[in-house]
Amino acid sequence: MPSHPIQKRETIYNPKSTSVYRSSNMDPFSQIIALLRPQAVFWQIIEAHDDWTISFNPSSVVVFGQLLEGRARIERPDGIGCEAEVGDFMLMPLPPPWAMSAGNGAPPIDLKQVMAEPTLLLTSKPRTVTRIMAGNFKCEAGNEDLITRLIPPLVHVRSHEVSAGRLGALLQMVGDEALTERPGRSLILDRLLETLLIEALRSGSAPLGEDGQRLMAGLAEPKIAQALNLLHGDAKKPWTVERLARDVGMSRSAFAALFARTVGLPPMDYLAQWRMTLARNALLSSDLPMTDIADLAGYQSVSAFSTAFRRVNGCSPMGYVRGRKMGMGEMLGAPLPSLV
């Protein structure tokens, strides 16, 4: 009988994952994923025999995994769930209480108990074996709203889909890197997790969150995609609707109507929200002076930036930082606006 069903467990944290904004040549969707900045990895392979159920507490992490052997079910109290087969990939952002089971199920065992007593899931002569490659990661503090607006509650990529093979390869690379002490490990893990997120979201296996749907619709429309790349490429530039329309080769009125219809916001409103997203990110993840953050957000003075920030977020920039660092984001006043 195997003596340890949970193997290859590792936690990695990269405290220096604090880049403010990768403008340059990244497309808008990649830039938004980059803002999430995975900061930790918890990696494990779980083996269970016959009928079993593992219960998981609600968490503030992104959970992901791939079924290596057997079959399993994911169930949540909100009715969201799936039946997983060998090779299927699953991802859930900030999940509520949930459970994974196989066969006819069994009285649920909390994951922490399983971790403390690995043999609870094993039998001496198993009829069926389930093996799951699983892990989770945290994202940059303050981006919880962005995660849930961008990522659907459950991403389920089936083994026959093209992206499942790519996701499996990425998971293997994450696992290999997590278990080594080679130079550059934290940086490589950051990039692998960003790639994992992008690959899962563009698989098309589940509708994206509200922000993701709007952004993808914009990027699918050639003229709007061109405009989005201009805005994301230089967010602090003094853009106007006229200038954007001219740069993409459309009349002002036709461009404004197409942008609003496709993305769900007028161009300048979209730009203002993207600038505020960059500003919130810089406030929490950098030591930039307030003048530089105001400039990043397209404001010529700190006072103008502070006034706009309070209007959008319901608090001053420093009040936002204090609240987030104290874990009191819900007390900051108005909820964070949509990114797009």
Is 183 buried (19+), middle (13-18) or exposed (0-12) by CB count in 10 A? exposed
Q: Give whole-number Cα distances, 193 to 67, 88, 186, in Å.
A: 18, 18, 11
- State pTM to two decimals: 0.71
Tokens describing residue 67: 């079924």
Q: Which residue has the tokens 């309070």?
A: 310
CATH homologous superfamily for 6-208?
Answer: Regulatory protein AraC (2.60.120.280)
Nearest to 203 by CA among 159, 147, 157, 165: 157
Tokens describing residue 235: 């967010």
**According to the per-residue pLDDT averaged within each range, which of 12-21, 117-126, 240-249, 256-265 is highest?**
240-249
Q: Find out whether 270 and 303 touch, Cβ atoms under 8 Å.
A: no
* 3-state SS, one letter per residue, for 221-236: CHHHHHHHHHHHHCCC
8's CB contacts (< 8 A; 6+ apart) are 43, 44, 45, 175, 178, 179
Q: What's 161's DSSP letter? A: S
**CB environment 85-107: b (16+ within 10 A), e (fewer):** eebbbbbbbbbeebbbbbbeeee
Mean pLDDT for the stretch of residues 122-151: 84
**According to the per-residue pLDDT averaged within each range, which of 16-30, 47-61, 170-184 is highest?**
47-61
Angle at 297 between CA 218 and CA 94, to 5 degrees: 60
pLDDT of residue 225: 92
Please state which CATH class domain 213-331 belongs to: mainly alpha
pLDDT of residue 305: 92
pLDDT at residue 16 tops 70 = no
pLDDT of residue 19: 43
pLDDT of residue 208: 64
Nearest to 137 by CA among 151, 127, 158: 151
Mean pLDDT for the stretch of residues 46-51: 94
Please give the share of the chain, as a percent, with pLDDT higher than 70.
Answer: 84
- The dihedrals phi and psi of 280, each to the nearest 5 degrees, come to -60, -40
CA 161/CA 202 separation, integer angstroms: 12
pLDDT in tens, 238-280: 999 999 999 999 999 999 999 999 988 899 999 998 898 889 8
24's CB contacts (< 8 A; 6+ apart) are 233
Residue ranges per structural domain of the chain: 6-208, 213-331
pLDDT in tens, 71-98: 999 999 999 999 999 989 999 999 999 9
pLDDT of residue 256: 96
Mean pLDDT for the stretch of residues 325-330: 51
CA 300/CA 11 separation, integer angstroms: 43
